[in-house]
Amino acid sequence: MTHLRSVCVFCGSSPSVDQNFLDAAREVGRLLAHQGRRIVYGGGRIGLMGSMADAALEAGGEVIGVIPTALAEKEVAHRGLTDLRMVDSMHERKALMAELADGFLALPGGIGTLEEFFEVWTWGQLGLHQKPFGLLNAGGFFDPLLAFLDQLTAQGFLRPEHRGMLSTRAVVGDVLREMETFEPIDVWRWLKPAQV
């Protein structure tokens, strides 16, 4: 059983997206706040980032934003957070977000969201952390990606055990419950001696 006291949320900062995705982000913020879970995210105040943070704050939640100084103006840093931490680089941003979180949840977003999410999955696959990670598949947004992951698994590029590490649900409460039951695997026992 994993205790998700603090959840790192990766999501898009673009304001030009379907309202349904913004609504899903607000639901994530509200639910995490109502459950007493701290949110750690990229620190922006627009797009899904801002929608989620605003909803959590309105519900009395604790929200920590982490943003590189160079992006604070470009991504329009949210100045009303519980805590806004400025860092020097994207590497520092991701490292601090990972350090502050007990688990990771990705919402719809662009290549930045995907890059952040795949990095924490890679770290988990390599045994660098034992924290759960999930995708909120709002409106079927991640369906093409999930099909591609299944193709990678079928073609031998992704082990079934590593594919199974990922929690994916369309409802945020469901994906959080699945993340709480996450059991880390011994990543190295799947390798044959010749592969090490």
Task: Indicate the average pLDDT of the chain.
Answer: 92
What is the mean predicted confidence (pLDDT) over 8-13?
96
Nearby residues of 169 by Cβ (< 8 Å), 6 or more positions away: 134, 136, 137, 175, 178
| 167 backbone dihedrals φ, ψ, rounded to 5° | -90, 135
- Tokens at 30, concatenated: 């509200």
For the cut 50, the answer to whether the pLDDT of residue 124 exceeds it is: yes
Share of the chain above pLDDT 70, in %: 93
Q: How confident is the model at residue 34 (pLDDT cuts 50, 70, 90)?
A: very high
pLDDT of residue 187: 62
pLDDT of residue 97: 97
What are the structural domains, with CATH classification, of the chain? Answer: 6-180 (3.40.50.450)
For the cut 50, the answer to whether the pLDDT of residue 57 exceeds it is: yes
User: Count of residues for the chain?
Assistant: 196
Is residue 103 classed as helix, strand or coil in its secondary structure?
Answer: strand
For the cut 60, the answer to whether the pLDDT of residue 78 exceeds it is: yes
Distance CA(99)–CA(91), nearest Å, equals: 12
Taking only the tens place, the pLDDT of each residue in 84-121 is 999 999 999 999 999 999 999 999 999 999 999 999 99
Nearby residues of 145 by Cβ (< 8 Å), 6 or more positions away: 114, 135
Q: How confident is the model at residue 191 (pLDDT cuts 50, 70, 90)?
A: low
Q: Which amino acid is at 182?
A: F
Q: Are 136 and 169 in contact (CB under 8 A)?
A: yes
pLDDT of residue 39: 98
For the cut 70, the answer to whether the pLDDT of residue 188 exceeds it is: no
Nearby residues of 191 by Cβ (< 8 Å), 6 or more positions away: none
What is the mean predicted confidence (pLDDT) over 128-152?
96
